[in-house]
Amino acid sequence: MLKVYLWQKNNWIDVGVLWISWDEIPDILKRFDVNTKSFTEKYNDEIAFIFAVWINDSVTNIDWTKNLYSLGNFEKNLEKLILKAKKYNPKFIKFIWLTNVNEKLVSPFPWSTIWQCYKNERIKKFDEILKKVSQKNECEYLEIFWIFENSDLEDWLHPNFKWHKKIFEKVKEFI
C-alpha cells in the first residue's frame, strides 16, 4: 500500500524492503551496508530510512527465565543501526515500532518446541527503548502499540488486511 501510494504521488520514488521474516536487529546490521549500498547505487539518489523492525527481538520463554535477547543488547544495536543509516542520510531516519500481540495465542507459540512466546509487557519495554534511542538520536518515532485489536490478526501473530490498512494510514500521515 505504501509503495503504491508513494508511486502515485511521485513516480520516481521506490520502496525497498530490506529485511527477512524472523530477522532480529543483528541480522539487519549484518546485511545493512551491502543492501543499502546496492540500493543507492541503483538509484544514485538519497535514501530515506523507515525502520519497522519487528518484535522478534522481544521473544522470551513462557516462564520468563530465558530472554533470548537482552534489552541492553537491543539498545546497543539500535544505536549501531542509526549510525549506519546516518552515513547515508542523517536527516531522514524514522522508526515505526512494536505492536501488541494476542498473548493467549502466542504464549507459547503453537509450533514452539522450547516454549517461546511474546508477552505484551516485554514488547512494551523494547518499545520504550526504541522511543528513548530515537529521541536521543533525533530520529522520528511513530508509536503504534495498542492500536491493534486481536481481530486485526490473521492468526496468532500475523496481521490481516485490516491491520495492514491501519498501519498504512498511520505511516502515510507519519511520512
pTM of the model: 0.81
Outline where the chain has alpha helix (H): 2-9, 25-43, 71-88, 103-106, 120-136, 161-174
Give the residue, 138 or 115, on which the prediction is more confident.
138
What pLDDT does residue 84 have? 93
Q: How far apart are CA 96 and CA 111, in angstroms?
A: 28
**Domain range annotation of the chain:** 19-174
The model's pLDDT over 73-92, given as tens digits with 9 standing for 90+, comes to: 999 999 999 999 998 888 88
The model's pLDDT over 118-168, given as tens digits with 9 standing for 90+, comes to: 888 888 898 899 999 999 999 988 877 666 677 776 666 667 788 778 888
Q: How far apart are CA 151 and CA 2, in angstroms?
A: 22
% of the chain at pLDDT higher than 70 = 77
Q: How far apart are CA 99 and CA 146, in angstroms?
A: 6
Least confident of 34-48, 93-107, 157-171: 34-48
Query: In residues, how long is the chain?
Result: 175
**Per CATH, is 19-174 categorized as 3.30.70.2740?**
no
Round the average pLDDT of the chain to a whole number and report it: 80
Could you tell me the CA-to-CA distances from 133 to 5, 103, 130, 162 in Å, in that order?
A: 29, 26, 5, 30
What pLDDT does residue 117 have? 81
